[in-house]
C-alpha cells in the first residue's frame, strides 16, 4: 500500500516529512534524482524525460499513486504526463493545486467558475523553469480572477540548500525577496513555489515582513493527499515497505537527508 514521492533532489523530503506525520500507517517510497539536480535550470524536454524515468521506477516499486514533490517537474512535465504517458490504473499528482486551493479558499474538487478572492497581489518565489512555465498562473486562473502575480526566479537557492550551504542560501533568499519587493512593494501573500524553500521559510518570512501571508506546500499537500486517499483507497499500491531511492551517491545523500530531517535516513541506489 505504498505511495510514491518524486523529487529532483532533497526538497521533496519536506513533503515526505509532512505526509508521514499525517499518515503514519502508509508506506512511502521516495525517489530523489540527486545526480541530475537541480531541475530548475533544465529545458522542458529534459525535465520530462527525467521525471518519467523516476516515476516509472516508483511504479515498479509498487506505487499506484505518485506525488511530484517538485514544482519544476509539476510545472514542466505533469500535464504532458497525464495526457499521454500515465497508465490508466496509475495516478500522478502535482503540488501546485493544493497550494492554490488554500490561497483561493476553495475546497478540493471545487470546479465552479473562477471568482474574486481575498488576495489581490501574490509574490511567487520559484525556480527559473517553474517561472518560465507560468504553470502557477495558469492553475490560479482556473480558480480566481483579479489576482496580480509577480514571479521571482530564485536562481542558486536550490543548489545552496542541496550543498548544505545555508549561509549562502539565506543571502540568496534575501536578495531575491528584495528584487521582488522592488517590483511589487506590497504583496498580500507570498507563495514558496519550490519544496526546497520550506528549509529556509523563516528567512523568507523575515525578509518579507509580518504583514505578508506566506504559503508553504508540505502541510497543504499532506492534507490534500490524506483526503484523496480516503476517497480513492484503491490508489494505495502493492508496495508494503518505505524506501528511499537516489540516483546519486547513497551515503552522501543519506547524510544530507539526515541533516535536513534531523532523523536518520538511509538511501539506496535507484
Separation of alpha carbons 189 and 181, rounded Å: 12
Rounded Cα–Cα distance for residues 165 and 249 (Å): 18
Lowest mean pLDDT among 84-93, 106-115, 237-246: 106-115
In this prediction, residue 111 carries a pLDDT of 78
Residue ranges and CATH numbers for the domains of the chain are 3-94+218-269 (3.40.50.1860), 97-215 (3.40.50.1860)
Query: pTM of the entire structure?
Result: 0.89
**Catalytic residue chosen out of the listed positions 13, 18, 70, 190:** 70
Any idea what the Cα angle at residue 6 is, between residues 2 and 137, rounded to 5°?
Answer: 125
Tell me the pLDDT tens digit for each residue of 126-183.
Answer: 999 999 999 999 989 989 999 999 999 999 999 999 888 999 999 999 999 999 999 9
* 194 belongs to the catalytic site: yes
Q: What is the pLDDT of residue 108?
A: 64
b/e map 250-260, b = 16+ CB within 10 Å = beebbebbeeb
- Give me the catalytic one of 93, 129, 192, 194: 194
Tens digit of each residue's pLDDT (9 = 90 or more) over 195-226: 999 999 999 999 999 999 999 999 999 999 99
Amino acid at each position: 500500500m505504498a505511495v510514491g514521492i518524486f523529487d529532483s533532489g532533497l526538497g521533496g523530503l519536506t513533503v515526505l516529512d509532512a505526509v508521514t506525520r499525517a499518515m503514519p500507517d502508509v508506506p512511502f517510497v521516495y525517489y530523489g534524482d540527486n545526480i541530475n539536480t537541480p531541475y530548475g535550470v533544465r529545458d522542458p524536454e529534459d525535465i520530462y524525460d527525467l521525471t518519467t524515468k523516476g516515476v516509472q521506477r516508483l511504479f515498479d516499486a509498487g506505487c499506484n499513486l505518485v506525488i511530484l514533490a517538485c514544482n519544476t517537474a509539476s510545472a514542466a512535465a505533469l500535464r504532458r504526463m497525464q495526457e499521454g504517458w500515465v497508465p490508466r490504473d496509475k495516478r500522478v499528482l502535482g503540488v501546485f493545486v493544493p497550494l492554490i486551493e488554500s490561497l483561493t479558499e476553495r475546497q478540493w474538487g471545487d470546479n465552479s467558475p473562477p471568482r474574486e478572492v481575498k488576495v489581490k497581489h501574490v509574490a511567487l518565489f520559484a525556480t527559473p523553469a517553474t517561472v518560465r512555465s507560468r504553470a502557477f498562473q495558469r492553475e490560479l486562473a482556473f480558480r480566481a480572477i483579479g489576482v496580480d502575480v509577480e514571479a521571482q526566479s530564485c536562481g542558486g537557492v536550490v543548489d545552496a540548500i542541496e550543498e548544505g550551504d545555508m549561509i549562502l542560501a539565506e543571502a540568496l533568499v534575501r536578495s531575491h525577496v528584495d528584487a521582488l519587493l522592488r517590483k511589487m512593494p506590497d504583496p498580500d501573500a507570498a507563495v514558496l513555489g519550490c519544496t526546497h524553500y520550506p528549509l529556509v521559510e523563516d528567512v523568507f518570512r523575515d525578509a518579507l515582513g509580518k504583514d505578508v501571508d506566506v504559503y508553504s506546500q508540505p502541510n497543504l499537500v499532506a492534507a490534500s493527499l490524506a483526503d484523496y486517499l480516503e476517497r480513492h483507497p484503491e490508489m494505495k499500491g502493492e508496495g508494503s515497505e518505505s524506501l528511499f531511492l537516489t540516483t546519486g551517491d547513497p551515503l552522501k545523500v543519506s547524510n544530507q537527508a539526515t541533516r535536513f530531517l534531523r532523523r536518520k535516513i538511509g538511501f539506496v541506489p535507484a
